[in-house]
Chain A
Amino acid sequence: MAQPPDISLTAEQLKTSNQQGFLLLPGFYDLDS
């Protein structure tokens, strides 16, 4: 069975998201798959 994708965010990313109200995740999707 395939493992679920790892989308764990760093503490810094979560802090940025909470402070700014948005977060950019470069290359989050693999559009070729």
Chain B
Amino acid sequence: MYQIIGLVAENHGLPLKRPPFAPETFDAGYNALIAGDRGVGSAVYDAAKLIPAFLRLLASDKNERLFAAVRETDLVGIGAASFGIRIDNPHEEQFRSQWHQEFLYQPQSLDGLVYWSPLAEIRENMGPVEVCVGSHRDGLCVYRKGGKYANKSGAYRIGLADEAAVVGRYTTAAPLTRPGDLLILDYLTLHQSGFNISERSRWSMQFRLFNFREPTGRKLGWKPSVTAGTEIDTLFPKNFVD
């Protein structure tokens, strides 16, 4: 990542003063870079998911075997357009993921799992993932476009209908994590990105694995991510209100 940040800065003709590479500060210079031009961050974001080591980890035997063990399946898939490295910048709401369930956006299998793993230590002020404990048992919720998130971009405009009431039914947890740790989330578990009020972006890997044998996903045809064009309000008409 350190080298990619440097190359992107060069591509945009932007000066980048930073210390030599060190694992714990692999993102050195990134926040200064986007402070000058936020759009440059998109180039880093797009490039991050092209790194072979990242793709090897995504498709690793270890990931596949974990999924197979948790879901007791012999046929594991990786959701199309479902993986990447999130870069959640400090004090930025536009691209923060509010409360949602993964299955709505990744209609691959009801028993799919999000794999979430940080690239830097996540402290409380960096906004750890927040989870509604046990919410996966209550099925797919109802959502709304054009509600309180109407001013956000793309799929970020979709929010839970009656969000506060729904979330209020559950206790929440926000585990703190370090590089190497893995948080797995049921595709129906309500969760959101925490608020990053630190001075450093929150870097985290997301993988999404699914079960080819799960009946609902199989019926839907293991659809790709909403970001790849899946029209989820057409796919789940009963789960959207105006």
* A contacts, CB < 8 Å to B: 4-5, 7-9, 14, 17, 19-31
Contact = CB atoms under 8 A, between A and B. Distances in A.
B175 interface: yes
B61 A28 contact: no
Interface residues of B, number: 30
B177 to A, nearest CB: 7
Given A4-B65, A9-B70, A20 B134 contact: yes
Contacts of B62: 5, 7, 28-29
B180 interface: yes
Nearest to A30: B180
Interface string B169-200: 00001010111111111101101000000000
Given A7-B66, A20-B173, A25-B184, 19 more contacts: A5-B65, A7-B62, A7-B65, A7-B69, A21-B186, A22-B173, A22-B184, A22-B189, A22-B191, A24-B181, A25-B66, A25-B181, A25-B182, A26-B180, A27-B181, A28-B62, A28-B180, A28-B181, A29-B117
The 8 A-B residue pairs with the shortest CB-CB distance in the complex, in nearest-first order:
A21-B136, A21-B189, A28-B182, A21-B186, A25-B182, A5-B62, A7-B66, A22-B185
Interface string B187-221: 01101000000000000000000000000000000
A23 B135 CA distance: 14
Given A9-B70, A17-B70, A29-B57, A23 B184 contact: yes
Given A7-B62, A7-B69, A21-B188, A27 B137 contact: no
Interface of B: 57, 61-62, 65-66, 69-70, 117, 131-137, 173, 175, 177-186, 188-189, 191
A21 to B, nearest CB: 4
A8 B191 CA distance: 26
A14 B184 CA distance: 11
25 contacts: A5-B61, A5-B65, A7-B65, A9-B69, A17-B184, A20-B133, A21-B133, A22-B131, A22-B173, A22-B183, A22-B185, A22-B189, A23-B184, A24-B175, A24-B181, A25-B184, A26-B180, A26-B181, A27-B180, A28-B66, A28-B180, A28-B181, A29-B117, A29-B180, A29-B181
